[in-house]
Amino acid sequence: MKLQDLADKLFLHAVSYDKGLSKDVSGGYVSDLLSDVLANCAEGSVWITLQKHTNIVAVASLKNLAGIIIVGGRELEEEVLKQAEAKEVTIMTTPMSAFETTGMIYQLLNENKGSEESC
Amino acid sequence: MLKEFRADLHIHTCLSPCADLHMTPSAIVKNASENGLDIIAITDHNSAENIIGTKKAAEGAGLTVLAGMEVTSSEEVHILALFDDIKDALKLQDIVYKHLASDRDYDGGLGEQVVVNEKDEVMGFNKHLLIGATSLTTLSIVNIIHSLGGLSIASHIDREGFGIISKLGFIPKDLNFDALEISPNTDKEKAEGLFRDYKSFQWISSSDAHYIEDIGKRRTSFFIKEATLAEMRGALRNTGGRRVEWE
């Protein structure tokens, strides 16, 4: 599944590097502790968080994540978006909570897996 | 002539909801003096209301009390602010109160927030949710502290709860901390391994005391001329032979 598919189905709003929407999403991770994401988030995942410090860009870039979803309708500061653009990190926002966002993505990713297997 | 001043720069009082109710001004001053401390800082969560009482309680005790605060950023990072003058701490308090999540309706459910005077008499209960986070970013808190003339120290960087490295993964380059604090949970040797990337910062260690028996459990020696914030800043910047030591 592409990031673009997630964005379309969940009505996510891409606020940085929308070219990255063509990336594949291999899984997801939910955490607001950046040290935890550095330690445990798998490459290619979409990261769901309410943490909006600029360090999220460095962490996503370092871990080769598919993208970041900022939940709860939180707005990002200009500096974060500038750095995300420079480091080619796709950030999307949603008014939904982390719980709702994660639930929907989990379902979509697993449906997708199922259909691939049956083909 | 430089002298050694033993400092514990992170002490909570009974104003912090998570601190013991026995952490009153006179008890803190008595224990700090008995433990051989020369300088302490009162650093309650997001409030400076017990500093006046503690400063008064320390009059004539040969103990310097700095006006401090442990501010919680929007990313839930704890940052210590230290001032000489209570007026500057109160200016910071005004800003912090405007940015705290709930406004004056705390009922003590997570622990009492007791404001006391120098005789340990209860003057009232703070109604802000002091345990909560402000809506201020870590960067803006550091900048506000500096603009008020204070020292800004990253609290207990070795702790998972509310430590900057745990919350933000690493210390961003734009944060101009005067020092990083190591908690009593981590000894010096271990800290030097864990945090070798942050050698460019000055490190201190303090107790983060919430209970009387923890006061002075960790301390940092400042080799300075007198017990003022300006001299301590000099020690953190290693000017004129001034320096800090801890173990």
Q: What is the pLDDT of residue A115?
A: 57
Query: Strand, helix or coil at B9?
Result: strand
A89, two tokens = 């990190």
Mutate to test the interface with B, among A29, A53, A59, A68 (most CBs of B within 10 A): A53
In chain A, what residues touch B137 (CB-CB under 8 Å)?
A: 53, 77
Selection from B69, B70, B72, B66 nearest residue B32 by Cα: B66
Q: Check pLDDT > 90 for residue B106.
A: no
Q: What is the pLDDT of residues B181-216, one digit of tens each?
A: 999 999 999 999 999 999 999 999 999 999 999 999
For residues B32 and B217, the answer to whether their CB atoms sit within 8 Å is no
For residues B75 and B95, the answer to whether their CB atoms sit within 8 Å is no
In chain B, what residues touch A59 (CB-CB under 8 Å)?
A: 169
The verdict on ipTM greater than 0.95 is no
Q: Check pLDDT > 90 for residue B112.
A: yes
pTM for the whole structure = 0.87
Question: Span B65-92, mean pLDDT?
Answer: 97
Task: Please classify residue B241 by burial: count the beta carbons closer than 10 Å to its beta carbon, then call 0-12 exposed, 13-18 middle and 19+ buried.
Answer: exposed
Q: What is the pLDDT of residues A4-44, one digit of tens each?
A: 999 999 999 999 999 999 999 999 999 999 989 999 999 99
Query: Strand, helix or coil at A34?
Result: helix
Contacts of A37 (CB under 8 A, 6+ apart): A29, A31, A47, A49, A59, A63, B169
- Compute the distance between CA of residue A40 and CA of residue A55 in angstroms, rounded to an integer: 16
Q: How far is CA B205 from CA A42, A111, B153, B158, in A?
A: 35, 52, 11, 11
Q: Do B172 and A33 touch (CB under 8 A)?
A: no
Could you tell me the pLDDT band of residue B247, with boundaries at 50, 70 and 90? confident
B80, two tokens = 């210590």
Q: Do B169 and A54 touch (CB under 8 A)?
A: no
Question: Span B91-109, mean pLDDT?
Answer: 86
Tell me the backbone φ, ψ of residue B114, rounded to 5 degrees: -95, 125
- The Cα of A35 is separated from the nearest Cα of chain B by a number of Å equal to 4
Q: What is the pLDDT of residue B185?
A: 95
Q: Which pairs from A41-47 meet CB under 8 Å and 24+ separation? A: A41/A65, A46/A3, A46/A6, A46/A105
From the list A33, A54, A58, the residue facing B167 with the nearest CB is: A33
In chain B, what residues touch A34 (CB-CB under 8 Å)?
A: 166-170
Closest chain A residue to the Cα of B173, Cα to Cα: A55
Q: How far is CA B182 from CA B68, B165, B187, B225, in A?
A: 17, 12, 8, 25
Selection from B48, B41, B75, B69 nearest residue B162 by Cα: B75
- The Cα of A30 is separated from the nearest Cα of chain B by a number of Å equal to 14
A59 in reach of chain B (CB within 8 A) = yes
Which DSSP helix (H) or strand (E) runs through B56?
A: helix B51-57
Closest chain B residue to the Cα of A32, Cα to Cα: B167
In chain A, what residues touch B165 (CB-CB under 8 Å)?
A: 35
Strand ranges, E, within B25-102? 39-42, 64-72, 78-83
Question: Span B67-79, mean pLDDT?
Answer: 96
